[in-house]
Amino acid sequence: MKISLLISVIQICLSQMVPADEFVWNWRDAVLMKSFIDIARCDANRRPEVEEYVLSAMTRLAPKAHGRHPNGIAAGVGLAWLKEIGKNTPEIDAALDRVLQHYREIPRAANGGCSHRPGRVELWDDTVYMLDIFLIGCYRATGDPAYLQDMAEQLIAHAEHLRDPKTGLWYHGWSESPDSYDDKCCQNGWNANPLHRNSEFWGRGNGWVAMAYADLLEAMRPDAPDYTRLKKEYQKMASSLRKMQDRRNGLWYQLPARSEEKGNYLETSCSAMFAYSLAKGARIGLLPRKYLKCADNAYSALRGHFQRNTLDGVCEGSCIGDKNYYLSRKRVSGETYADGAFLMLDNELKINK
């Protein structure tokens, strides 16, 4: 991708795809905002524009800001960043406090894992990233390592029910109850089994986890409680991902452990997420530098998947199901979280160079 095209992607995201006055308090736009914040940390020329954007969006939404579920909590990353850089106002501070209070009130599994859904206790791999960007943001805003410890405990609690020890990959979801129900999104009965979880490693779900591991380990001190455990889990996952990357194309499959499965397809959003995580792991010394080559190969492939300045080949929004459920998911474009993941990857590779 030429530099001019990348700048165009950023500009379109800021001014056309999700201008500040159209930013929605949700996880999709939150991931894109997190990418802007990452870029602003590294590029002084773009920082004023990003500061103006985040301040405008968060000021407008401060009265409605909430953290009643993880997908709402994620958008609090903007509030935390404004506090970190001293651009907060009393309204911003009040909104940040409200999101934190809501987070503390979310139902928990017996092991402390934060439920993905209101009204039920379910642990989804998606959740860990939505909490991760907010809690790390709160740590950076306050300097209080308790936020990092809280995030570490959430990763451990979710891993207890979702992580496969053989590969280090995560299943998509676990339910406290095996009761079957129809939510018009998940495959009915996905949790009606003795383990109360589904049986597949979904690409983007694992992408959320891979990014959460890398971001948290970067922020934690090596002598912090649980650091060594999380590092080993992350390294195991990274090793499996390196082996599962398509060598010819540089991307990963929608179901990354089923590359030979008929109907499986190379998927761009998880590929950007995996590449970002591997690149960061190599930069901070948790992975060998050879992992950076995996990220570079994915980046090169992803450059060919931009149509009208947005990433195509993205698996549509998905809940939980079996193999055929995921393989039937359509490929779409124009998803803010996918563009955000690519922008984070691009920024990480620039830091690595």
Domain ranges of the chain: 3-175+191-352
Token pair 């003795």 in the structure block, residue: 194
Q: What angle do CA 31, 172, 261 make, to 5 degrees?
A: 105
* Domain 3-175+191-352, CATH class in plain words: mainly alpha
What is the residue type of 257?
A: A
pLDDT at 8: 56
Q: 125-160 pLDDT, tens per residue?
A: 999 999 999 999 999 999 999 999 999 999 999 999
Query: Residues 6 or more apart from 171 whose CB is under 8 A from it?
Result: 125, 162, 163, 164, 197, 198, 199, 200, 201
Q: What angle do CA 36, 40, 41 make, to 5 degrees?
A: 120
Angle of the 268-283 helix axis to the 336-352 helix axis, nearest 10: 30
H helix runs in 143-288, sequence order: 146-162, 203-219, 227-244, 268-283
Quick one: average pLDDT of 247-252?
96
User: Residue 265 and residue 278: Cα distance in Å, rounded?
Assistant: 21
> What's the mean per-residue pLDDT of the chain?
94
43 vs 215 pLDDT, higher one: 215
Tokens found for residue 64: 């409605």
Quick one: average pLDDT of 214-237?
98
Q: How confident is the model at residue 267 (pLDDT cuts 50, 70, 90)?
A: very high
Residue 82 CA to its chain's centroid (Å): 20
CA-based nearest residue to 113, from 146, 160, 76 = 160
Quick one: average pLDDT of 214-238?
98
User: Is 4 a residue whose pLDDT tops 50?
Assistant: no
Name the pTM for this structure. 0.96
Q: What angle do CA 242, 134, 61 make, to 5 degrees?
A: 130
**Helix or strand or coil: residue 328?**
coil
Question: In sequence order, what DSSP letters do the residues of 291-347 get, joined into one string?
Answer: HHHHHHHHHHHHHTTEETTEE-SEEPP-----HHHHHTPPEE---HHHHHHHHHHHH
Q: How confident is the model at residue 180 (pLDDT cuts 50, 70, 90)?
A: confident
